[in-house]
Amino acid sequence: MNDAIAAATRRNQVKSERPSIFGKSLAARKMRFGLLFAAPAFIFFGLFYVYPLFRTFYVSLFSWSLLDEPRFIGVTNYVNLSNDKEFINSIGVSFYYAIGVCVAIWVIALALALMFNQTFRFRQAYLSVYYLPAVISLTVWSLVWLFMYNPSFGLFSEFARWLGFTNVRMLDNPQTAMPAMILLSIWKGTPVYMLIYLAGLRAIPGDYYEAAKVDGASALQRLWHITLPLLRPVFLYVVVISIIGAFQAFTPMYLLTNGGPGSATRVLSMFIFQNGFQFLKMGYASAASVIFLLILLVFSIVQFRILRFQQQD
């Protein structure tokens, strides 16, 4: 307890002692260098992404069909969104999809990475095979699965039939349509995160493991006390990025079921796309984008808090 207070006090002291940027001290020199290295990013992200983002905030206060003059309507879009059952539904559907895909990826990708971190015969060849789903474009991947899910002629349905299930109609059934999307997304998404975990594992100094072995730690103990804590920054990345990526995905839903059956797979990003570019309600879509952003922001802040914003240990 006292340690925590002491650490916090030290942190505050360090913050308030931040030197002037024009100083001659090492700290000041470091500050100038950090700013220099970061400067291109300020300009780049500010110009290409943050500025358009503010424009989106702005447009959300208007009614705009892309073809006409925007008309100022204040917060009407937000009010309408709160009454829009399709919008509420799409948020729920997106959550369902995101949780389903991400939790599976967090676990499977880590397991695979741990496996590939060992040496074994044909490891390189296997790694290429396990990475395969990632190299195929998402559109084509989705269409391949469209065929695999065909109730009569699809591989998936044939396989189900071989296992004894009949009448397997994944995409036609509101209960199974989203699980079908989740499955194909896990299949496609896992390899990339496996690589990221693997890169993280590679960066853990071998000495630590050696020392632990000398101390008599078992494999499981090494995993729990060395690997996982040291993987924490990478794990934060995987968690945050996978959730955001899952919310943004809509190609599979668009191609396989067009949001159906009914609205069972109409995710939030698809709602935004449809309203903006099909229904010609760009202001409405922008308002939905703002809410989308807020949801992800809240999610990310929570994850940062849980997994610790700054590397402390």
Partner 1 sequence: MKTRFYTLFALLIVGAMLLSACTMPAAAPTGGGAAPAASGQTIELLYMTHNHAQSIPVNEAIIAEFEAAHPNVKITFDNAPHSNFEQKVLTAFAGGTGPDVFWMGDWMIPQLVKNGIVAPVDPTAFGVQTQEEFADLFEPGSLDAFTVDGKIYTGGVSEYNTFSLIYDKDDFAEAGIEPLSKETPITWEELADIAAKLTKKDGDKVVRIGLEWPFQTPIWTVLIQEPMLRQLGGELINPETGMPDFTQEPMVKVMEYVQGLRNAGAIDPALDQNLLDDLANDRVSILIAGPWAAKPLNDINPDLNWDTAPLPQFANAVDRVTTLYAWAWFVSGKSSPEKQKAAWEFVNLLTSKQQEWWDKVGYVQARKADINGMTLPEYYAQADARLATIFADYPYGKFEFRSPQYFELSDIWTRAQDRVLQGEDVMTVLQEAQAQAEQAVSQ
Partner 2 sequence: MLRNAQRTLLSLLAQLGILAGAVVISVPALYMVSASLMSSQDFFAAQVKLLPSSLYLQNYVEVFSVFNFGNYLKNSFIVTGAVVLLNLIFTPMVGYSLAKFDFPGKTLLLLFVLATIMIPFTAILIPLFLIIRSFGWVNSYPGLVMPFAMSAFGVFLMRQFILAVPDDYIDAGRIDGASELRIYFQIVVPLIQPALITLAIVVFVASWDEFLWMLIVTTGDALRTLPVGLAKFVEQYRTRYELMMAGSVVAAAPVVLLFLAVQRRFLQGMAGLSGLK
Of 77-96, binders to partner 2 (CB under 8 A) are: none
Please, which of residues 217-246 interact with partner 1 by CB under 8 A? none
Give the C-alpha separation, 307 to 137, whole Å: 32
Q: How open is the CA angle 260-149-273, to the nearest 5 degrees?
A: 35
Which does residue 263 touch among partner 1, partner 2, none (CB within 5 to 8 A, set by kind)? partner 1
Q: What are φ and ψ of residue 258, in 5° steps?
A: 50, 40
Give the C-alpha separation, 178 to 96, whole Å: 8
Interface segment toward partner 1; rule CB under 8 A; list 37-45, 163-171, 194-202, 228-236 = 163-171
Give the C-alpha separation, 201 to 234, whole Å: 9
* Burial class of 34 by CB neighbour count within 10 A (0 to 12, 13 to 18, 19+): exposed
Out of 72, 147, 224, 279, the residue judged to bind partner 2 by CB under 8 A: 147
Out of 120, 166, 220, 305, the residue judged to bind partner 2 by CB under 8 A: 120
Give the C-alpha separation, 266 to 82, whole Å: 17
| CA-wise closest residue to 244 among 98, 90, 96 | 98
Interface segment toward partner 1; rule CB under 8 A; list 23-31, 33-41, 199-207, 279-287 = 279-287
Please, which of residues 204-223 interact with partner 2 by CB under 8 A? 204-207, 210
The 10 Å Cβ neighbour count of residue 244 is 15
Interface segment toward partner 2; rule CB under 8 A; list 1-9, 165-173, 258-266, 272-280 = 272-280
180 part of the interface to partner 2, by CB under 8 A: no
**What mask, x for binding partner 1 by CB under 8 A, covers residues 59 to 98?**
----xxxxxxxx---------x--xxxx------------
Which does residue 144 touch among partner 2, partner 1, none (CB within 5 to 8 A, set by kind)? partner 2
Provide, rounded to whole angstroms, the least separation between the CB of residue 133 and partner 2: 7
- Give the number of C-alpha atoms closer than 13 A to the C-alpha of residue 36, restricted to the C-beta side: 7
Please, which of residues 46-65 interact with partner 1 by CB under 8 A? 50-51, 54-55, 57-58, 63-65
Under 8 Å between Cβ of 101 and 89: no
311 part of the interface to partner 1, by CB under 8 A: no
183 part of the interface to partner 1, by CB under 8 A: no
Per the DSSP assignment, residues forming a β-bridge with 62 are 72
Interface segment toward partner 1; rule CB under 8 A; list 2-10, 125-133, 243-251, 271-279 = 271-279
70 part of the interface to partner 2, by CB under 8 A: no
13 part of the interface to partner 1, by CB under 8 A: no
26 part of the interface to partner 2, by CB under 8 A: yes
* Burial class of 89 by CB neighbour count within 10 A (0 to 12, 13 to 18, 19+): middle
